[in-house]
């Protein structure tokens, strides 16, 4: 009987129409709860870090300050003799532009990792969400090691008698070149473990310069210009960080591949070195 089949055929679409939004809403709620839990964990870890800092940090004592700055009277006389440079004068110095360019290239690459690595692992390498979390952790763990290694290396070079500026430049340039040497080949490798290894080495290298970048302004500028020069350097770095996800998205939209993304990052690292 034709009439007996009409009702089921009309009920199924209605059932799907009604149930689909409900299922979507449930998934959205579950995702929102997971994100909220993750953010709460991050916030809690922040309080732990603050507690450790408050417990263990102390201001340098008089002897340590003299060791850092030299004779106290000489430091006082130097400060009196220093003339505050304007920002315009700082921009006329070649060192300022080298610092801006170096920070731009390094921060650009770091923010490509921070904003696009999970998407790359999922879209290009085919990792599931559960797999991606563990794999994405590896480059960032290597980055932690890179920051510590860069600071340690610079201090060891200074202890060995090397000029302070050169002892800062070696980790900055060396880390950037190492990162470029790992990131560019990653664009053309298809073996997944090798890609992850290259990305991990690349992020290690990109983080090696960070500690030295933060101290470079204090090393090259008079004490009354350190904050201004540091701000200008960070300005260059954060411009790189800001344009990194935009350029990455544009390259992906135009090419459909991450190869160009890695090559651009590698070139900027070499230029920044």
Is residue 167 included in any domain, yes or no? yes
Is the pLDDT confidence value at 78 over 60? Answer: no
Q: What is the pLDDT at residue 145?
A: 92
* Crossing angle of the two packed helices 129-159 and 192-207, in degrees rounded to 10: 40
pLDDT digits (tens, 9 = 90+) for 30-58: 767 777 777 788 888 888 888 888 888 77
pLDDT at 149: 92
- The pLDDT confidence band at residue 6, using thresholds 50, 70 and 90, is very low
Say if 47 falls within a structural domain: no
**Mean pLDDT in the chain?**
75
Q: How many domains is the chain partitioned into structurally?
A: 1
- In DSSP notation, the chain reads -HHHHHHHHHHHHHHHHHHHHHHHHHHHHHHHHHHHHHHHHHHHHHHHHHHHHHHH-----HHHHHHHH--HHHHHHHHHH--PPPHHHHHTSHHHHHHHHHHHHHHHHHHHHHHHHHHHHHHTS---HHHHHHHHHHHHHHHHHHHHHHHHHHHHHHHTT--HHHHHHHHHHHHHHHHHHHHHHHTT---HHHHHHHHHHHHHHHHTTHHHHHHHHHHHS-GGGHHHHHHHHHHHHHHHHHHHHHHHHHHHHHHSSSHHHHHHHHHHHHHH-
pLDDT at residue number 70: 54
Residue 145 lies in a domain: yes
Query: The domain spanning residue 234 has which CATH number?
Result: 1.20.1250.20
Mean pLDDT across the stretch 140-164? 87
Q: What is the mean pLDDT of residues 100-119?
A: 80
**pLDDT at res. 204:** 92
Domain span including residue 162: 88-272
In tens, the pLDDT along 180-189 reads 888 888 778 7
Asked if the structure places residue 81 within a domain, the reply is: no
238 confidence band (pLDDT: 50, 70, 90): confident
- pLDDT at 4 exceeding the cut of 70: no
Residue 178 in domain: yes
pLDDT value at 1 more than 50: no
Is 83 part of any domain? no
Is 43 inside a domain boundary? no
Residue 231 in any domain: the answer is yes
């Amino acid at each position: 009987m034709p009439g007996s089949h009409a009702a089921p055929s009309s009920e199924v679409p209605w059932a799907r129409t009604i149930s689909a939004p409900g299922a979507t809403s449930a998934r959205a709620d579950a995702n929102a709860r997971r994100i909220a839990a993750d953010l709460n964990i991050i916030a809690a870890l922040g309080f732990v870090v603050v507690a450790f800092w408050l417990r263990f940090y102390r201001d340098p004592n008089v002897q340590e300050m003299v060791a850092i700055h030299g004779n106290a009277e000489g430091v006082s006389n130097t400060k009196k003799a220093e003339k505050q440079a304007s920002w315009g004068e700082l921009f006329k110095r070649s060192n300022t532009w080298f610092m801006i360019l170096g920070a731009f290239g390094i921060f650009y690459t770091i923010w490509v990792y921070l904003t696009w690595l999970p998407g790359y692992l999922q879209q290009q390498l085919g990792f599931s969400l559960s797999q991606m979390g563990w794999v994405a952790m590896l480059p960032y763990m290597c980055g932690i090691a890179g920051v510590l290694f860069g600071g340690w290396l610079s201090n060891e070079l200074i202890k060995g008698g090397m000029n302070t500026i050169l002892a800062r430049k070696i980790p900055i340039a060396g880390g950037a070149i190492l990162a470029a040497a790992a990131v560019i080949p990653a664009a053309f490798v298809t073996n997944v473990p090798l890609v992850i290894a290259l990305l991990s080495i690349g992020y290690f290298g990109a983080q090696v310069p960070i500690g030295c970048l933060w101290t470079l302004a204090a090393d090259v500028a008079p004490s009354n210009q350190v904050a201004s020069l540091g701000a200008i350097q960070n300005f260059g770095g954060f411009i790189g960080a800001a344009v990194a996800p935009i350029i990455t998205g544009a390259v992906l939209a135009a090419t459909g591949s991450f190869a160009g993304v890695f090559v651009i990052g590698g070139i900027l690292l070499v230029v920044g070195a």
